[in-house]
Amino acid sequence: MSITSDILRGHTETIILAHLLEQDSYGYQINKDIMQKTDNLYELKESTLYTAFRRLEQNGYIRTYWGDETVGARRRYYAITEEGKAAYKKYKNEWEEAKNIIDHLIK
Amino acid sequence: MSITSDILRGHTETIILAHLLEQDSYGYQINKDIMQKTDNLYELKESTLYTAFRRLEQNGYIRTYWGDETVGARRRYYAITEEGKAAYKKYKNEWEEAKNIIDHLIK
DNA sequence: ATATATACCTTGACAGGCGAGGTATATATG
DNA sequence: CATATATACCTCGCCTGTCAAGGTATATAT
């Protein structure tokens, strides 16, 4: 992996919400999407992912339902809520602001 | 404060090194500089600052010396080392990369 | 049979940030 | 002269997100 956890820390929820904004998805798929999108530079670890799902659900930002797969392993799908959409916008704005601040501070 | 600790997490060392790249400085001053540079949007907490100094020193990225103040409180100055300059470059590159990745992942 | 891929999950350790508390010097205010 | 404020340093212990390690189950390929 090429970028450290500490830099990514705090973005996990935003990343997940951004994905769910496009379409409902499930853990395994979200993880693969992220790896693919970043050319394997960044991998969201499973334990990180699932603890983030729990937080997001507790905060009402996502809701979950089981897929109706008849073959293969079951899938737990996640969908973003209205609160989640609002949170996403807030997180995204914070990121834009933080980006400027950090850029400025590290020259 | 307007940006969260988790987003800033991991940048503390880079921010400090960037400051020391310009000139030697001491804790209190560095803290004030950061607040001023960010229009008080971001304040590096003292405990965060001093633990970061310890880490940086242990890693050989900075060295310290006491100021020769004859009045007022004593000041412990910090200076960046060659290793520190190299670390700064590395951190900065990681940041540029991370920025792109995050931007891409959160759309 | 065994390995690999898909798919889910929990537990406990770790590390950085930070609130709360402390020390000391100097100056300004009442 | 007492008190507040600014300067300047520091430590301890909690909190929280990340992640290694471990686990379960289904299906397919070798």
What is the predicted pLDDT for the residue at B71? 85
As a whole number of angstroms, the distance between CA B101 and CA B95 comes to 10
- Please state whether strand D lies within 7 Å of residue B72 at its CB atom: yes
Query: B42: burial class by Cβ within 10 Å (0-12, 13-18, 19+)?
Result: buried
Contact: B42, A6; criterion CB under 8 Å = no
Q: List all residues 6 or more positions away from B97 whose beta carbon is below 8 Å from its beta carbon.
A: A2, A3, A41
- On the 0-12 / 13-18 / 19+ scale of CB atoms within 10 A, A38 is buried
All residue ranges of chain B with pLDDT < 70 are 1-2
pLDDT of residue A1: 40
Cα torsion A29, A35, A38, A42: sign: positive
| Reported pTM | 0.92
- Give the integer Cα–Cα distance in Å for A16 and B22: 39
A105·B11 Cβ contact <8 A:
yes
Helix, strand, coil tally for chain B in percent (to 5):
60, 10, 30
**Chain B interface residues (partner A, CB cutoff 8 A):** 2-11, 14-15, 18, 21, 34, 37-38, 41-42, 91-92, 94-95, 97-99, 101-102, 104-107
Low-confidence ranges of chain A (pLDDT < 50): 1
Instruction: Work out if A16's Cβ lies within 7 angstroms of strand D.
Output: no
What is residue A107's predicted lDDT score, i.e. its pLDDT?
A: 85
